Structure 1
Amino acid sequence: MAKQRLEKFLESTDLKRSATASDLLGVSSRAMLDALGAGERSPQVLAELAKGRMRAKIPELVEALTGRFAEHHAFICRMQLERIDQMSNWIE
């Protein structure tokens, strides 16, 4: 549920990560989300964080990562990721 909430939130900022990545919390996606939360806003820089097979999708990633993501969005994103991490730790 928290994962879907995060995905909906990202879509509200015009970031369409789900269009290019099957797992919102996979290695590449998580690196991009962490960078967004840390203040990175350049779609090109974010797309370059792609790993493995996702590197072939860098042009699509740049387009998907172009949106209106501001500091207050970064705060909410960080909070959502922390919540997801806490729930994951409880399950393990």
Structure 2
Amino acid sequence: MVAEKNRIQKVLEDANIKLRSVVSKIDGVSSMRIIHALMEKDDLSREEIAEMTHGRLRSKMDLLVEALDGRVTGHHRFLLKMHLDHIEFLADQI
């Protein structure tokens, strides 16, 4: 599963999404909410990001907004879905 998480990180970086520079865990609850939201729409507003975050991450809102200023294409969405589905499959197998 670690390899799949690294692949998700690589896809995000290719889309110029620097989420890992702000969050401690790319597979954390807030991170997963943000990734799923990015798969649905191109730009997330500050308010939408605030709704998806909790805890200490809320205090990093300015950094988070800046880190999410990228361009997620259809190809990125396809790869993210594929990697997330594979993580879910592996978790079910365990």
Structures share fold, TM-score greater than 0.5: yes
CA contact (8 A) 1:17 1:65 kept: yes
Q: 1:45 to 1:83 in 2, by over 3 A?
A: farther
Q: Normalising by structure 1, what TM-score?
A: 0.87
Unaligned runs of 5+ in 1: none
Does 1 or 2 have the higher relative contact order (CA < 8 Å, sep 6+)? 2
Q: Give me the whole-angstrom Cα distance separating, in 2, the residues matched to 1:43 and 1:13.
A: 17
- The corresponding residue for 2:36 is 34
Identity of aligned residues (%): 34
CA contact (8 A) 2:42 2:72 kept: no
Q: Give me the whole-angstrom Cα distance separating, in 2, the residues matched to 1:88 and 1:54.
A: 26
Aligned length: 91
Q: 1:74 to 1:20 in 2, by over 3 A?
A: same
2:6 counterpart SS class: helix
Q: Normalising by structure 2, what TM-score?
A: 0.86
